[in-house]
Structure 1
Amino acid sequence: MHTPDDRLPESQANDWYYDNPVIPGLHPDPSACRVGEDYYLVCSSFEYFPGVPIFHSRDLVHWRQLGNVLDRPSQLPLPPDAAASDGIYAPTIRHHDGRFWLITTNVSHGGNFIVTAERPEGPWSDPVWIDLPGIDPDLAWDEDGNCWCAFAGADGPAFHGVRIARVDPEAGKVLEGPFPAWAGTGLQWPEAPHLYRIGQWWYLVIAEGGTERGHTVAVARARSPRGPWEAAPNNPVLTHRSTNQPIQSTGHADLVTTPDGQWWMILLGTRPRGYSPGFHVLGRETFLTPVRWEDGWPHVGPVNLRERAPGPPRPLEVEPVRDDFDAPVLAPRWISPRSRPDDAWSLTERPGWLTLRATGSTLDRPGCTFVGRRQRHQDSRTAVLLDPGSGRAGLSVRMDEAHHYDLEVADGQVSVIARIGPLRQSTATRPVPPGPLVLTITTRPAAQRPPAEGEPSGLHVAAPDFIAFHVGDDPLPLAELDGRYLSTEVATGFTGRVIGMYVTEGTAWFDWFDHEPLDVPRGS
């Protein structure tokens, strides 16, 4: 959040501004609700465990992670071989009748389900499965207490627009429908529906055009959830397609109001960099933008990197960038692919250290021991203090099993290993002394890096960033790799980079982990 700037026009001198995204890194498909003066927000988590991070804010700008809604294996049954970018899709969070309700889809096991909690930090219930097809479910209640579920109807690969059913959310039973609601304006993949009762109208907000650069937000309204639905004359109400806006892929939106009646939209977007077609590496992030109403329809956008805030900042306590592993449990920001078996990690075996034990022999297949954090800064520094013992362990930048860069220590050597699609190559190796050592990975804009001797002309322009690997206090990197190969445009899918600690042989120990913006001086 920025304080008022004396250089701003006098009419803006008492305004507050914030920077987008409000939740950076892999936090897509946001959904939010307000309870009094508090806001709560959830995001998709895909193949990662624990699932569905939940955040709290007092101003819609500063968000603190409270925990994860799906923090037990009984809530998040993922097959050991669940594909990357499968798992949990597009949750919706609502507060009704004194309880928090969350509905989402496990596309790898079971389909749509509901969990509830008395408090947002949990504990959340085990799933109540609901016999509805499709993805991206939503919940809304009418004045008679009926619960309506809107979802993106699907039959295999074919989408049929948004459908709506009246449901019993306690029992997971369909009481009426589902019946066709609205197929959108004709663009592909009409999905991500959210249903609202506003005044005398029901509004249906959806995403269209695919979650890539053609993403849009469209709106329709009706007098009843049963329809008929009338499309907004200004559809799409928001899109950045075919523009030079630094934020792209804007869509999958949810509406929220402030206590004083202001309307805001929470949505996803990306920040591509590099030469055409551009590459986004952090995944789809959470953005915030104001909404105005004209003639009974919402008007939005464009979404800017800097926006006027809803009001004075009310920041919450923020987790430190450094984790010394002194707490009795792992902080909620730590995630692992598919599962995190209890016998694979410990915070008590060696107090003050995170102990990791190998459960798989390679990061190239599911089943490995990996504990990581979403990369939150485009230009970043991530460092760990590793005691590898006699095992094989390191620090990895991960998109999926086929796209990751590893800084690995084993057999008295440190290596940089690149896995890009079917290719796996060790790009640099150096002997290291036994005992603990610091491993550091930095990401920085390609434009700041002059081309190395012998590199093809223009290579430094095309990449979104370069990823450098350092050992100890050596200022020269052991290797520096093109970041485009760890982007969604290359790896495909719906996720972004996660930087984490791993072990693929034996046992290793990690004393601390730092992840911070690159321009923050070390030790600050």
Structure 2
Amino acid sequence: MTTLYNPLLNGFHPDPSVVKVGEDYYLATSTFEYLPGIPIHHSRDFENWTLIGHVALTEAQLGIADVPTAGGAWAPTIRFRDGVFHVIITVAMARGMLHFTATDPAGPWSKGEVILGVDGEESVNGIDPDLAWDDDGTAYVTYSGLIMSGAQLGAHLGVQQVKVDLDRHIALEEPRSLWSGTGLMFPEAPHLYRHEGHWYLMIAEGGTERGHGISIARGDSPEGPFEPAPLNPLVSARSTSRPVQNTGHGDLVVGPDGDWLVVLLGVRPRSMTRAFSALGRETFVTSVRWVDGWPEIDPVELRLRPGTAIIEDFDGTESDGDELDGEWIAVRRSPAGLADLTSRPGWLVLRGDGSTMDDAHPVFVGRRQQHLTNAVSARVDASAGVGGLSLRYDERFHVDLEVGGGSVTGRAVLGGLRQEWIHPFEGDVLDLHIVSGPPEGDGGFPRTSDIIRLAATIDGERVELGEVDGRFLSSETTESFTGRVIGAYAVSGTFAVDRFAAEGHDE
């Protein structure tokens, strides 16, 4: 029996889409302003997942060098047909709707072709595209009609569809409107499925916040008309006490034991009123049953994995030769262009360019925070530059430990507010620590997600610099679509990291 761990993928992994090919499963998720973009995870048992590659390794494939925060790679759909893997995605506020192909899901993937509108001039204007084929091979792109450019910017036209020539990457018709849900806001994340003689159109609606849910309709053609299911929404956590909230944006698949499953996003909020989700939107899974021609989806249950520990010594054991492994990500540029693993063997060297964590293009490489109780330590050398360790949501919300100029500085940047704690330090090598965990002494009614503590170990003595209320680095406060990412950064000169260790659990 398959173990349905939840989260299926811990940490910042929103908008999941999955495809089954033989006995193998491949899962794609959103990455927004981070590179490499669109990770592909593989599993055979739906329990153990391995990152095997990314669709986009370079900025040019997505065009996100100057994308605003919250823009970038939104909501991929991954599909397989005639020996070819397909990923279709909207790169919001950048290149538009893109189509990627590969014969090996680990890559390399194509450069990404823009799917043009029927006039052949601009991208199809919408988000969350799905790709499906009917029996005669006609390709359908079904998407959420959120207008991302032009005079109607921000308008929502509901769920729309076009037939597409995938060789020329051009729509063959003007967009048509389809069933757009039960009337809740933001009908999005459509997926089309053929099952037992019917076409099913599954969508998310209610917004990707607490009102999120999944609804479905069916018809005799991929173009509709569609009849809504009698029990919509099929799944939603709104107005419930479930520990996993915001459940929606799902994709159906047949599981390893022959039963149906749905992968979907959700959050794990904490605090007295469950108001703050520190890790952002994660990937979850739950069971599906077909009853009288309609799917029924079980509520998403929390079933935690054991804790994890990652130690990176930059000696080639964890990293892939002279490059960081695929779990390392950077902001609007590739980690490979920032991380030097060869000039000082056994060390990660970053070269500052004057940017800081306040900037859109920091010299920063990090990893997703995977657990609600989490500790990261890094042994660093600031003898030839200024840099540090940062816990980032975006350029307006981050917590840093910076070394250089005769001091260690703890810093909290929270939406324009700044606070610093300074401790003198004239040496070269020291250990930096960012630890997050549940608040203490709250009488059983915590009013935040967690507490973030900043510390440094200098000459064998641990110095506590300061602490930050974790609610300020949650998806609800930052209004971010991403999640917490922790890593090293450089401001000026060369900043080197000898060892990076992260361990955590969710108990």
Query: Normalising to structure 1: TM-score of the pair?
Result: 0.89
- Give the 3 Å change call, closer, same or farther, for CA 18–237 of structure 1 in structure 2: closer
Which secondary structure does the structure 2 equivalent of 1:490 belong to? helix
> Do the aligned residues in 2 keep the contact of 1:344 with 1:359 (CA within 8 Å)?
no
Cα distance in 2 for residues equivalent to 1:294 and 1:422:
52
1:323 is the counterpart of 2:307: no
Gaps of 5+ in 1: 1-14, 308-312, 452-457
Which secondary structure does the structure 1 equivalent of 2:172 belong to? strand
Cα distance in 2 for residues equivalent to 1:170 and 1:319:
44
1:413 Cα deviation after fit: 1.2
Per-residue deviation, residues 372-423 of structure 1 (Å, max 9, x unmatched): 1111011011111111123111111111111111011112211110101111
Cα distance in 2 for residues equivalent to 1:133 and 1:303:
32
Taking the TM superposition and a 5 Å limit, the aligned residue runs for 1:204-243 are 204-243=201-240
Taking the TM superposition and a 5 Å limit, the aligned residue runs for 1:357-396 are 357-396=351-390
Query: Normalising to structure 2: TM-score of the pair?
Result: 0.92
Taking the TM superposition and a 5 Å limit, the aligned residue runs for 1:17-166 are 17-80=3-66, 82-131=67-116, 132-155=124-147, 156-166=153-163
Per-residue deviation, residues 164-192 of structure 1 (Å, max 9, x unmatched): 11112232111234211112110000000
> Do the aligned residues in 1 keep the contact of 2:349 with 2:496 (CA within 8 Å)?
yes
> How many pairs were matched up?
488
Question: Alignment partner for residue 301 of structure 1, among 298, 301, 320?
Answer: 298
Cα distance in 1 for residues equivalent to 2:444 and 2:493:
39
1:462 is the counterpart of 2:447: yes
Taking the TM superposition and a 5 Å limit, the aligned residue runs for 1:318-357 are 321-326=310-315, 327-340=321-334, 344-357=338-351
Partner residue in 2 for 1:168: 165
The worse-fitting range, judged by mean Cα deviation, of 472-481 and 208-217 is 472-481
Per-residue deviation, residues 293-336 of structure 1 (Å, max 9, x unmatched): 101111012110139xxxxx9xxxx9971222223211111111
Which secondary structure does the structure 1 equivalent of 2:446 belong to? helix
The worse-fitting range, judged by mean Cα deviation, of 178-187 and 165-174 is 165-174
Cα distance in 2 for residues equivalent to 1:263 and 1:391:
54
> Do the aligned residues in 2 keep the contact of 1:395 with 1:500 (CA within 8 Å)?
yes
CA RMSD of aligned residues (A): 2.2
> Do the aligned residues in 2 keep the contact of 1:358 with 1:507 (CA within 8 Å)?
yes
> Do the aligned residues in 2 keep the contact of 1:343 with 1:357 (CA within 8 Å)?
no
Which secondary structure does the structure 2 equivalent of 1:74 belong to? helix
AA at the equivalent of 1:133 = N
AA at the equivalent of 1:163 = Q
1:273 is the counterpart of 2:270: yes
Cα distance in 2 for residues equivalent to 1:128 and 1:319:
38
> Do the aligned residues in 2 keep the contact of 1:469 with 1:480 (CA within 8 Å)?
yes
The worse-fitting range, judged by mean Cα deviation, of 34-43 and 253-262 is 253-262
- Give the 3 Å change call, closer, same or farther, for CA 16–121 of structure 1 in structure 2: closer
> Do the aligned residues in 2 keep the contact of 1:26 with 1:497 (CA within 8 Å)?
yes
AA at the equivalent of 1:23 = L
Per-residue deviation, residues 170-217 of structure 1 (Å, max 9, x unmatched): 321112342111121100000000111112111111000000000010
Cα distance in 2 for residues equivalent to 1:88 and 1:501:
23
Question: Alignment partner for residue 485 of structure 2, among 472, 495, 498?
Answer: 498
Cα distance in 2 for residues equivalent to 1:384 and 1:319:
17
Partner residue in 1 for 2:422: 429
Which secondary structure does the structure 2 equivalent of 1:477 belong to? strand
Cα distance in 1 for residues equivalent to 2:68 and 2:418:
20
1:518 Cα deviation after fit: 5.4
Gaps of 5+ in 2: 117-123, 148-152, 316-320
Per-residue deviation, residues 45-89 of structure 1 (Å, max 9, x unmatched): 001111111100111121111121100232121133x22111110
Percentage of identical aligned residues: 47
AA at the equivalent of 2:199 = W
Cα distance in 2 for residues equivalent to 1:306 and 1:441:
26
AA at the equivalent of 1:126 = K
> Do the aligned residues in 1 keep the contact of 2:235 with 2:297 (CA within 8 Å)?
yes
> Do the aligned residues in 1 keep the contact of 2:451 with 2:470 (CA within 8 Å)?
yes
Partner residue in 1 for 2:150: none
Which secondary structure does the structure 2 equivalent of 1:461 belong to? coil
